[in-house]
Amino acid sequence: MKLLESTKIGNKILKNRLAMAPMTRSRADINGIVNHSTSIYYTQRASAGLIISEAINISQQAAGSPFTPGIYSKEQIEAWKEVTEAVHQKEGVIYAQLWHTGRVGHSLVKNGNLPVAPSAIAIEGQQHFTMEGMKDYETPKALTENEISAIIQDYKQAAINSMEAGFDGVELHAAFGYLPNQFLAESSNKREDNYGGSHENRNRFVLEVMQEMVDAIGADKVAIRISPTSTYNGISHENPVEQFTLLINELNNMPLSYIHIMNVPFPGDKFPQYPLNSVETFGKISNHPIIANCGYNRETGEAELEKGIAQLISYGTLFLANPDLPKRFELNAELNEPDRATMYGGKDQGYIDYPFLEQLN
């Protein structure tokens, strides 16, 4: 199987072509510090060719949901060191996914401060989880150019902190409606300055963040995740093929380790301008290795690799419920069913107690 073949990203040789997709689990403490169970969780899944961590807040301002981890304080960095050391002892490779939620948050999670965004446009038709239950989204504060520059530096520092914490690289979370995606999309970005209007201007924030991180931690250690067709969190694009083609071509000029593309389904009648297959449309024009994501199983993941565009397939829920997913794919063994009630928050149940194959025999 191609899924089980070795491959290379950046300067790392991977034991197979299965990546563990980033998945928020909300198991950090109130100060964004991960615990020993987090180390067990990732170590259990170190047979993945590549682990991409859950999204990690780059600053206090970046946090949108309670109990999500950060990498901006000394205590947070030290806690992540236990995780990366344990994964490396199992000969695993782990990247940190760097996160700023932008308007996808609530003042109840931000010590009373409003979320920030490219423009003062609230998410409609959804609610956000807070310590006081589900709440309607607030209208965010529009960022000034000076504040944008400060956030770009927060990303740079988070990349440096990730290296200190022992991660092998970093992935910019520019997908699924979070801050970088908010800059990319016309629906959330109505700016008339250098960061809004044209495709080039709306791409600028992402490109400046990527360049700062590359400059800070070096070649072949920085990656990005994009979701050109996701409509989640109030995101829509008027011409994603043109815009993301420009973005990929600019990223081709940077020494990145990979591009992680979410091939998100969408209502075709509402978005006829969207590409039917983001992996094929944008993966073909990338100079960097492609990780394909969204709903793949053993058979469809193998078929995607056979096309020759993607080098890896990332699996979310399947890795959550099956810590030994590569072995199960190798043997075509039955898979554990995920417990959706314990995906977010809680303690060790539904986190580190999913059985390995040998525990079932």
pLDDT over 70 at 361, yes or no: no
Greater confidence (129 vs 210) lies with 210
Q: In the predicted model, is pLDDT for residue 355 greater than 70? A: yes
Query: pLDDT tens-digit profile of 61-72?
Result: 999 999 999 999
Average pLDDT over residues 321-343: 97
The residues that bridge with 55 in the sheet, in sequence order, are: 97
DSSP label of 286: -
Per-residue pLDDT, averaged over 145-168, amounts to 98
| Mean pLDDT for the chain overall | 96
- Average pLDDT (327-356) is 96
Q: Average pLDDT for residues 175-187, to the nearest whole number?
A: 97
Based on the residue annotation, tell me whether 95 is a catalytic residue of this protein: no
Domain boundaries, the chain: 2-360
**Is the model's pLDDT at 144 over the cut of 80?**
yes
| Residue percentage of the chain with pLDDT more than 70 | 99
Picking from 103, 326, 286, 187, the residue whose alpha carbon sits closest to that of residue 196 is 187
Mean pLDDT of 328-333: 97
Distance CA 85, CA 68 (A): 21
Query: Of 67, 138, 61, nearest to 102 (Cα)?
Result: 61
Query: What pLDDT, on the 0 to 100 scale, is given for residue 214?
Result: 98
Q: Average of pLDDT values for 71-84?
A: 98
CATH superfamily, domain 2-360, is: Aldolase class I (3.20.20.70)
Q: What's the gap between Cα 60 and its chain centre?
A: 18
Q: 167, 94 in Cβ contact below 8 A?
A: yes
Q: Which of 42, 178, 195, 354 is catalytic?
A: 178
Residue 359 has pLDDT above 80, yes or no: no
